[in-house]
C-alpha cells in the first residue's frame, strides 16, 4: 500500500509536455508540417505561442529531432522523395560568420558547443545566407546556412511542464 501511494505521488509531480508536443529527452517539440515561413516569422510564431524556435544543443538532441522527422515524414517503401527543410534558431545576421542561438527573450548566445553542419557549410553562398536550417532526407539531417527570407517548416520547442498559448496547439 505504501508503495502504491508513493507511485501515485511520483506520477503526479512528473512534468509533462503540453498537448500536441512530442517529448524526447528533456525537451518538448512541435513540428509545424502545415506552415512554411521565413526565419523571423517562424521564430515569432514560436514565441507568440510561449515557446522558442528549435535549438539543438547536443548530439542526443540532434538524434531526437532526426527521430521526430523520420516518424513524421518517412513513408515506408519510398526511398526518394522525402526532403524537408527546418529552421533552427541560429544565424549570423548580427556579425558575419559569428553564429548565435537566438532565445525567446531576445537575448542570444554565441554557438560554442554542438553543431552538425554539412561539409563546406556554413558557406554564406552569394553572401546572403545568414540563417541556419536542417536539410532532412532519409540519409541525413545536416545543418546549412541559407537565406533568411526562404520559407521553411519549423519546430517550436519548450521545456517539460511549461504552458503554451493555444495558437501552437
* Shorter beta-carbon distance to Ca ion: residue 12 or 106: 106
Residue with cell 540519409: 139
- Residue in 37, 42, 51, 55 binding Ca ion, rule: CB under 5 A: 55
- Residue in 144, 148, 158, 164 binding Ca ion, rule: CB under 5 A: 144
Note whether 154 binds Ca ion by CB under 5 A.
no
- Residue in 17, 88, 145, 155 binding Ca ion, rule: CB under 5 A: 145
Residue 54 DSSP label: -
Segment near Ca ion (CB under 5 A); pick from 15-23, 29-37, 39-47, 118-126: 118-126
Query: Within 13 Å of residue 36, how many CA atoms lie on the same side as its CB?
Result: 8
Q: What is the DSSP string of 115-159?
A: --BPTT-S--GGG---EEEEEEESS-EEEEEE-TTS-EEEEEEEE
| Residue 17 beta carbon to Ca ion: minimum distance, rounded to whole angstroms | 13
As beta bridge partners, residue 144 has 133
- Residue in 70, 123, 159, 166 binding Ca ion, rule: CB under 5 A: 123
* Run of H or E including 55: none
Interface residues toward Ca ion, by CB under 5 A: 55, 123, 125, 129, 144-145
Amino acid at each position: 500500500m505504501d508503495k502504491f501511494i508513493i507511485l501515485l505521488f511520483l506520477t503526479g509531480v512528473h512534468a509533462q509536455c503540453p498537448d500536441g508536443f512530442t517529448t524526447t529527452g528533456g525537451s518538448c517539440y512541435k513540428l509545424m508540417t502545415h506552415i512554411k515561413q521565413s526565419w523571423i516569422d517562424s521564430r515569432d510564431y514560436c514565441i507568440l505561442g510561449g515557446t522558442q524556435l528549435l535549438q539543438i544543443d547536443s548530439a542526443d538532441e540532434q538524434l531526437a529531432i532526426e527521430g521526430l522527422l523520420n516518424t513524421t515524414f518517412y513513408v515506408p517503401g519510398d526511398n526518394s522523395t522525402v526532403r524537408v527543410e527546418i529552421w533552427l534558431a541560429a544565424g549570423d545576421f548580427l556579425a558575419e560568420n559569428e553564429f548565435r542561438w537566438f532565445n525567446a527573450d531576445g537575448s542570444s548566445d554565441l554557438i560554442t558547443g554542438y553543431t552538425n553542419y554539412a561539409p563546406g557549410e556554413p558557406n554564406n553562398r552569394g553572401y546572403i545566407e545568414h540563417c541556419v536550417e536542417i536539410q532532412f532526407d532519409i540519409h541525413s539531417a545536416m545543418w546549412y546556412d541559407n537565406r533568411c527570407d526562404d520559407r521553411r517548416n519549423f519546430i517550436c520547442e519548450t521545456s517539460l511542464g511549461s504552458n503554451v498559448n493555444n495558437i501552437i496547439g
